[in-house]
Chains A and B, each alone.
Chain A
Amino acid sequence: MDRVSPRLLLVEDDDHIRMSLRWALEDEGYQVAEAASGEDACRSVATAAPDLMLVDLMLGAMDGFQVIREVRRAHDLPIVVVSARADTHDIVAALEAGADDYVTKPFQVKEVTARLRALRRRAGGQGGSGGEGAAERPTELVLDPDPVAPLVLRPERGTVHRGQDQLPLTLTEFRLLCELAANAGRVLSRQALLERVWEHGFFGDERLVDVHVRRLRTKVERDPSAPTLVVTVRGLGYRLDPQ
């Protein structure tokens, strides 16, 4: 798929899991850097400059949530969380901290690589290299023509500006906004968004959509507690209403 093998930072404190995962991921063509603790992980993000991160939530002194928050201060790379259980609040907390997706233990490596590939694909889909359907994409979408601080989405360049400031959207949030903007005025179901943004199938977790919409709102809405741009349509999904 990729000419250069993607660099992946694997954050896991269980030696055996880390070792076996490294083998399996290398078999799949990733360049793997390891971190056995949260502190280690934060250092490695700077030195190894990974394209992707796989983070276990249960770490030592500095847990996975802190690692994600720390990394999110300066990086928009895709982060996939590894959790022991899918039904706990941990998942939502990790997503709120800034994770893009999750897998539960015990997982099969092909599940993980499928998630990573989906995240990579959309990361490559914008940023100038020309993704699917790039020709039809408008170069600039004004989502909120506020005279003082208009909200402008530039899908081609992968940026969103509020006035002069570029908003710090993660890749997933950006893709979600593009998907909603491309269907402005129409309701998109959670299921549809899961398929288009995360490439999840029927059994995907709709909490992914909800948490990411929440995160997106805090960045693009004038008043995130009373959203007017990305609105919830009860029982159906979400809709982007250009202001």
Chain B
Amino acid sequence: MTPSLGPRGLRARIVLAFAVGALLVSAVLVTTTFLLARNYLLGQRESAVTRQAFADANVLSSRLSTAGSQVGEELVDLVPSGGADVVVRSGGSWYSSRLDVGARDVPGSLQELVTAGSAGTARISTPTGPHLVVGVPVVAADLQFYEVAPLAELQASLRTLTAVLGAGALAATAAGAVFGAWASRRVVQPLEQVAGAATRIAGGELGIRLPPTEDPDLLAIVASFNSMVDALASRIERDARFVGDVSHELRSPLTSLVTSVEVLGSRRAELSDRGRQALELIEAELDRFRRMLDDLLELAKVDGTAPAGTVAPVSLSALVREVLAHRGCPPGLLHADADDATTVRGDKNRLERAVTNLLDNADRHAGGIVDVRVQRQDGSVLVLVDDAGPGVPPTERERVFERFARGPRAARRSMPGAGLGLAIVEETAAAHGGAAWVSDSPAGGARFSLVVPGAAG
């Protein structure tokens, strides 16, 4: 892990906290254990050496009490266990069991203590390692008895203990970090679930909810998240239903209007010139009104309240050909791949609406349709509509697909797609897993493209 200077993530913080916690706890435990063990071992050794010293002093004392014994001779015979050496002060002279130990190894404070008539211990360090010196006054023989015992063995034990405890502390720290990583994953997992669900909901899957949980800590999050999505979904649904209901309510008056105007239209000859002009205006506006209402209903559908239409294989070549024929366009306008090659899976009526809107856009805002192509390309089916207009400047290319594309009123009137038509194209494409965009046509105008994934096979 490289320490980052930026803000640390939640997971990194949890791992770090667990590792540091484990380190602190194990450090305290290790230190305490070490100190207790050392004191205990030292104490054991000390009492063992002390017992030994008293025993050896007794032996020496009893031997000296037999007649004619010399301290030096008796010392040679005395072989204390555990590799200890003996130093004796008797009558102002020092004797020792080996040559490399002597008076210099007995600290002055201990000498004073023993000379004063009480036993004592001291620790010294010599070139051959640490030693324990135990002093015992032998009053009967008027001598001071010192036993010098090596502590090297104890020192080695303590070193081993230190190594073991240190390794244990490191292992505990590592285990803490691992546990922290595991725990942080457990903690973050629900958050990731929430994030995943939120992403899918933002993508339009309003039916997504978090799975119910029995974890009391997560209950509140799951419940409030789900109720938030419920509220959001019902709000979206309400909005879409409102649009649907409004357009629905407008249909009755529109029906009698359309029908009455048709009756008027068949009596055109009876009207004056001005009357005819007015009738034509009404006809044109009614047509626009009707289209807008259809667009609104279509959008309400796209927003997901209406049941999904029937999805079936549709040949886009055939569909575009039919739409063009319906509009009375010359068949030469269309350059299409074979019907079988341009089959997609989709809702025929919605795709028809999208294609109609593309053609309407070219007709009404961009000087007319120049060329229509339907091609299969890389597993997708592409519908291209070229128009005779001035094209769409790059800055406007995304905006033309927005609902009632925003902008200054004047610009809005002259801009292609001002309204809902292209928004429906875009949303229909998206609903079919495709896309819609505008670019420059080779002929100079704009080229609107609609792409839908092709049906398999």
* Residues of chain A having any CB pair with chain B under 8 Å: 14, 16-17, 19-21, 23-24, 27, 84-89, 105-110, 201-203, 206-207, 235
Q: How far is the CA of A16 from the CA of B253 in the complex (A)?
A: 8
Q: State in angstroms the CA–CA spacing of A109 and B258 once bound together.
A: 9
Query: Known: A20-B263, A23-B260, A24-B262. Is A105-B319 also a contact (CB below 8 A)?
Result: no
Proximity bits, B303-320, A CB within 8 Å = 1, else 0: 000110110110000110
B263 touches A27 (CB 8 A): yes
Residue of A nearest to B308 (CB): A87
Nearest-CB residue, chain B, relative to A16? B256
In the bound complex, residues from chain A placing their C-beta under 8 Å from that of B252 are: 14, 16-17, 84, 105
List residues 247-283 of chain B with CB under 8 A from any CB of chain A: 248, 251-260, 262-263, 266
B255–A106 CB distance below 8 A: yes
Residues of B bordering A, CB below 8 Å:
248, 251-260, 262-263, 266, 290, 293, 297, 301, 306-307, 309-310, 312-313, 318-319, 322, 348-349, 352
B352 partner residues in chain A, CB cutoff 8 A: 203
22 CB-based A-B contacts, threshold 8 Å: A16-B256, A20-B255, A20-B263, A21-B256, A21-B259, A23-B263, A24-B259, A84-B251, A85-B248, A85-B297, A87-B306, A87-B307, A87-B309, A88-B306, A89-B307, A106-B258, A106-B293, A107-B255, A108-B258, A202-B318, A206-B310, A207-B310
Q: Taking the nearest CB of chain A, how far is it from the CB of B159, in angstroms?
A: 83
A107 lies within 8 A of B310 (CB) = no
Q: Which residues of B contact A85 (CB under 8 A)?
A: 248, 297
Q: How far is the CA of A24 from the CA of B313 in the complex (A)?
A: 38
A84 partner residues in chain B, CB cutoff 8 A? 248, 251-252
User: Given that A87-B306, A202-B319, A203-B349 are known contacts, is A106 also in contact with B251, CB under 8 Å in the complex?
Assistant: yes
The smallest beta-carbon distance between B266 and chain A, in angstroms, is: 5
Which single residue of chain B is at the shortest CB-CB distance from A89?
B307
Query: Which residues of the partner chain B approach A21 to less than 8 Å between Cβ atoms?
Result: 256, 259
Apart from A20-B259, A202-B319, A207-B310: 9 A-B pairs, beta carbons within 8 A: A16-B256, A21-B256, A23-B260, A23-B263, A84-B248, A84-B251, A84-B252, A87-B309, A106-B293
Taking CB atoms, residues of chain A closer than 8 Å to B313 are 235
Cβ contact within 8 Å between B348 and A20: no
| Cα of A106 to Cα of B248 in the assembled complex, Å | 10
Question: Are A27 and B266 touching (Cβ within 8 A)?
Answer: yes
Q: Cβ of A27: which chain B residues have Cβ within 8 Å of it? A: 263, 266
Instruction: Give complex CA distance A86, B348 in Å.
Output: 13
- What is the CA–CA distance of A105 and B254 in the complex, to the nearest angstrom? 8
In the complex, how many angstroms separate the beta carbon of A90 from the nearest chain B beta carbon?
Answer: 12
Nearest 5 A/B pairs, CB to CB = A20-B259, A16-B256, A202-B322, A106-B255, A106-B254
Nearest neighbor of A109 in chain B, beta-carbon distance: B262
CA distance A14 to B262 in the complex (A): 18
Instruction: Compute how far the CA of A207 lies from the CA of B254 in the bound complex, rounded to whole angstroms.
Output: 26
Chain A residues whose C-beta falls within 8 Å of the C-beta of B349 in the assembled complex: 86, 203
Residue from A23, A86, A107, A207 within 8 A of B258 (CB atoms): A107
CB-CB under 8 A from B266, the residues of chain A are: 27
Query: Which one of A86, A88, A105 lies within 8 Å of B255 (CB-CB)?
Result: A105
A19 → B minimal CB distance (Å): 7
Nearest chain A CB to B312 CB, angstrom units:
8
CA–CA, A155 to B397, complex, Å?
60
Q: Given A16-B253, A201-B322, are A87 and B301 neighbors across the interface (CB < 8 Å)?
A: yes
A106 close to B318 (CB less than 8 A)? no
Residue pair A20, B260 in contact (C-beta under 8 Å): yes
Distance of A107 Cα from B262 Cα, bound (Å): 11
Which chain A residue lies CB-closest to B319?
Answer: A202
Complex CA distance for A108 and B258, rounded to whole angstroms:
7
Distance of A160 from chain B, by nearest CB (Å): 30
Q: Is the CB of A105 within 8 A of B251?
A: yes
Most chain-A Cβ atoms within 10 A of its Cβ — which of B259, B306, B309? Answer: B259
Question: Which B residue sits closest to A18, measured CB to CB?
Answer: B256
Name the residue on A nearest B263 (C-beta). Answer: A23
Q: A207–B347 Cα gap in the complex (Å)?
A: 13
Q: For B262, what are the chain A residues with a Cβ–Cβ distance below 8 Å?
A: 24, 108-110
- Bound: A63/B28 CA distance, A: 86
Which residues on the B side are within 8 Å of A19 (C-beta)? 256
Chain B residues in 8 Å Cβ range of A14? 252, 255-256
Minimum C-beta distance from A20 to chain B (A): 4
Q: Which residues does chain B contribute within 8 Å of A105, judged by CB atoms?
A: 251-252, 254-255
A21–B261 Cα gap in the complex (Å)? 11
Shortest CB-to-CB span from B351 to chain A, Å, is: 10
Which chain B residues border A89 with CB–CB below 8 Å?
Answer: 307
CB distance from B270 to the nearest CB of A (A): 13
Give every chain A residue within 8 A of B260 (Cβ-Cβ): 20, 23
Choose from B251, B256, B306 the contact partner of A20 (Cβ within 8 Å).
Answer: B256
* CB <8 Å contact, A203 and B322: yes
CB distance from A234 to the nearest CB of B (A): 12
A106 touches B290 (CB 8 A): yes
